[in-house]
């Protein structure tokens, strides 16, 4: 089944689908808008499976354009709005995009190759009541090309099929308890796989998505959450760290909030505790996934958070997760290995990159690159990304373990731990730290706290206050940029080596 038909199959026309600014668009509006844009795409007489770029901030037009592309049997290529115009053009040309759906916000015209057809938001001014029709496609036909986040390496283009999206959507709905009455505040971009999964699951459930176009002014986010009576919010660790430590989200009563979804990295235990204390009636869903898995691979039931602190849970329905050693054999409880995943949600591979596909997804098994342990009941605990381990004095240090201890200090909003070169130790632990608004960093107090909580080899040698951590367009910390910045400061003598 065409995934666009599947996603719009359940909700009645008069149900609210998308709140954009002060306007609430119904599912009927969304079907008409998607049908209108699909007709415009079909007028281009493109071959089935032709890639169509989608560039712009989250909006009703974005959602309609995405569904229109899928319905027309074409491949959607969501583009990050954080790219330069030259980067956008280069990516579109490399993928082979045949047209662009261009939003009015966050999408400059010069980001589009000069000879590429453009369909803009003005196309919706001609929208007329018409039946939404989706072309028949096979489950294994490509639906989207998604760029990986590129937090540790250059981004690649992941092929996502109609069958991948359906499998992952059904797996998430199996545990997430999303009802047609729910209203999800969306702060994550739809071009990010986590944001896309919110679109997929809430449309399929017939729920409503409330667009929050900016995360710069945190009180605006909390105000919209309250005013729109949102029942859900989703974010990566930086989302919740900022809200809990730099806004009224921690103190404001939000009686409509009933679930909080978290993925995109390990949330520090201190923030988990603060979230649950601040909103005890809201279920906190801790999840794990990758772009190559269409979004989610596992989740930890809220009732297990106290029993298994730090766990990402077990594989979703239809997903097999294993933690294996270098020979591919399962590790024993307490041993460290790599997470391998298989299931109908795993991508068939990277676009035009058979070598990397064979390395990352041999025989359809996704080698995640995440190192983890497992307990006797099969619950998985991520230790760190292989690339983020710090090697100091013969020890392998998980950066996330250091960060979790630092985040116990209430004045810290976010922190990134990396290794910087040292002539004797190989590497030593270095921190880039962001503090609450109106506070200053007390490096001596921070290091004293770490000495009391960590082994000697894990105590930071270098602490640098920064205004903000470098984040990619999905809100994930770019560790390689942090590492380069701190190494540059050591080399320049701005901070002690």
pLDDT band at residue 130 under the 50/70/90 scheme: confident
pLDDT band at residue 108 under the 50/70/90 scheme: confident
Q: For 64-68, what is the mean pLDDT?
A: 98
* Shared-domain flag, residues 368 and 462: no
Rounded-to-integer distance, Cα 346 and Cα 4, Å: 19
- pLDDT at residue 242 above 60? yes
Rounded-to-integer distance, Cα 410 and Cα 249, Å: 15
Residue 433: predicted pLDDT: 97
Q: How far is CA 332 from CA 323, 341, 367, 395, in A?
A: 9, 17, 18, 21
pTM exceeding the 0.85 threshold for the entire prediction: yes
* Shared-domain flag, residues 345 and 395: no
* Shared-domain flag, residues 247 and 280: yes
Residue 371: predicted pLDDT: 95
**Beta carbons of 25 and 39 less than 8 angstroms apart:** no
For the purposes of burial, counting CB atoms within 10 Å of the CB of 245, is it exposed (0-12), middle (13-18) or buried (19 or more)? buried
* Shared-domain flag, residues 355 and 399: no
Q: How far is CA 351 from CA 50, 51, 90, 144, 340, in A?
A: 13, 12, 15, 11, 21
pLDDT band at residue 493 under the 50/70/90 scheme: low
- Residue 23 sits in a domain whose CATH number is 3.40.50.12780
Rounded-to-integer distance, Cα 374 and Cα 308, Å: 11
Residue 497: predicted pLDDT: 45
Query: How are strands ordered across the β-sheet holding 75-79?
Result: 118-120, 99-102, 51-55, 75-79, 142-147, 157-161, 349-350
Give every CB contact of residue 194 below 8 A, 6+ residues apart in sequence: 188, 234, 236, 263, 264, 289, 295, 474
* Shared-domain flag, residues 355 and 426: no
Average model confidence (pLDDT) for the chain? 94
Residue 149: predicted pLDDT: 63
Q: For 117-127, what is the mean pLDDT?
A: 89
- Residue 434 sits in a domain whose CATH number is 3.30.300.30
**Overall number of domains in the chain:** 2
DSSP structure string for 336-381: -EEEEEEETTS-SEETT-HHHHHHHSGGG-EEEEEEEEE-TTS-EE
Tell me if residue 54 falls in helix, strand or coil: strand
* Shared-domain flag, residues 120 and 227: yes
In a domain, 384, yes or no: no
DSSP structure string for 93-134: HHHT--EEEE-SSS--GGGS-TTS-EEEGGGGGG--------
pLDDT, tens digit, 9 for 90 and up, residues 418-469: 999 998 889 999 999 999 999 999 999 999 999 999 999 999 999 999 999 9
Residue 105: predicted pLDDT: 85
Which of residues 322, 340, 374 is at a domain's end? 374
* Shared-domain flag, residues 296 and 422: no
* Shared-domain flag, residues 119 and 19: yes
Rounded-to-integer distance, Cα 340 and Cα 379, Å: 14
pLDDT band at residue 151 under the 50/70/90 scheme: very low
Percentage of residues of the chain with pLDDT beyond 90: 88
Rounded-to-integer distance, Cα 10 and Cα 382, Å: 36
Query: How are strands ordered across the β-sheet holding 426-435?
Result: 412-422, 426-435, 462-465
* Shared-domain flag, residues 356 and 393: no
Residue range of the domain that includes 404? 389-492
* Shared-domain flag, residues 291 and 439: no
In a domain, 272, yes or no: yes
Q: For 476-486, what is the mean pLDDT?
A: 92
* Shared-domain flag, residues 13 and 56: yes
Say which residue, 77 or 394, is predicted with more confidence.
Answer: 77
Residue 474: predicted pLDDT: 83
Rounded-to-integer distance, Cα 253 and Cα 265, Å: 27
Of the listed ranges 23-37, 179-193, 481-495, the least confidently predicted one is: 481-495
CB 327: neighbour CB atoms within 10 A? 6
* Shared-domain flag, residues 104 and 188: yes
Rounded-to-integer distance, Cα 175 and Cα 438, Å: 40
Which of residues 346, 374, 402 is at a domain's end? 374
Which of residues 328, 351, 374 is at a domain's end? 374
């Amino acid at each position: 089944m065409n995934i666009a038909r599947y996603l719009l199959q359940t909700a009645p026309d008069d149900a609210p689908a998308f709140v954009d600014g002060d306007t609430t668009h119904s599912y009927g509006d969304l079907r008409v808008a998607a049908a209108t844009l699909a007709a415009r795409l079909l007028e281009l007489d493109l071959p089935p499976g032709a890639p169509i770029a989608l560039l712009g901030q989250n909006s009703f037009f974005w959602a309609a354009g995405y569904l229109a592309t899928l319905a027309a049997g074409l491949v959607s290529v969501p583009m990050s709005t954080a790219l330069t115009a030259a980067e956008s053009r280069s990516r579109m040309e490399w993928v082979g995009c045949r047209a662009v759906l261009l939003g009015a916000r966050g999408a400059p015209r010069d980001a589009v190759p000069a000879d590429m057809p453009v369909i803009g938001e003005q196309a919706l001014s001609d929208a007329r009541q018409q039946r939404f029709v989706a072309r028949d496609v096979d489950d294994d036909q490509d639906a989207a090309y998604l760029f990986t986040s590129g937090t540790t390496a250059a981004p690649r283009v992941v092929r996502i099929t109609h069958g991948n999206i359906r499998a992952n959507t059904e797996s998430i709905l199996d545990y997430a308890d999303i009802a047609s009455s729910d209203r999800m505040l969306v702060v994550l971009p739809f071009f990010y796989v986590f944001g896309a999964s919110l679109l997929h699951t809430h449309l399929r459930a017939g729920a409503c998505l409330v667009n929050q176009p900016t995360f710069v002014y945190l009180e605006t986010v909390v105000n919209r959450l309250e005013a729109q009576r949102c029942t859900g919010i989703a974010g990566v660790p930086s989302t919740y760290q900022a809200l809990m430590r730099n806004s009224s989200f921690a103190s404001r009563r939000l009686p409509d909030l009933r679930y909080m979804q978290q993925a995109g990295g390990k949330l520090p235990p201190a923030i988990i505790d603060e979230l649950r204390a601040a909103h005890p009636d809201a279920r906190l869903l801790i999840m794990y996934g990758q772009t190559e898995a269409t979004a989610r691979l596992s989740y930890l039931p809220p009732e297990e958070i106290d029993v298994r602190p730090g766990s990402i849970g077990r594989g979703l329905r239809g997903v097999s997760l294993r933690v294996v050693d270098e020979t591919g054999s399962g590790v024993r409880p307490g041993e460290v290995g790599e997470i391998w995943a298989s299931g109908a949600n795993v991508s068939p591979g990277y676009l035009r990159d058979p070598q990397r596909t064979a390395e990352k997804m041999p025989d359809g098994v996704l080698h995640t690159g995440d190192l983890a342990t497992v307990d006797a009941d099969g619950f998985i605990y991520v230790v760190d990304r292989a690339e983020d381990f710090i090697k100091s004095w013969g020890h392998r240090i998980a950066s996330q373990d250091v960060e979790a201890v630092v985040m116990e200090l209430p004045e810290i909003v976010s922190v990134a731990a990396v290794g910087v070169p040292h002539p004797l130790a190989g590497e030593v632990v270095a921190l880039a730290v962001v503090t609450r608004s109106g506070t200053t960093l007390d490096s001596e107090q921070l290091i004293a706290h770490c000495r009391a909580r960590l082994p000697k080899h894990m105590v930071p040698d270098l602490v640098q206050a920064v205004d903000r951590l470098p984040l990619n367009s999905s809100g994930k910390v770019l560790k390689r940029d942090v590492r380069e910045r701190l190494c540059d400061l050591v080399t320049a003598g701005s901070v002690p080596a």
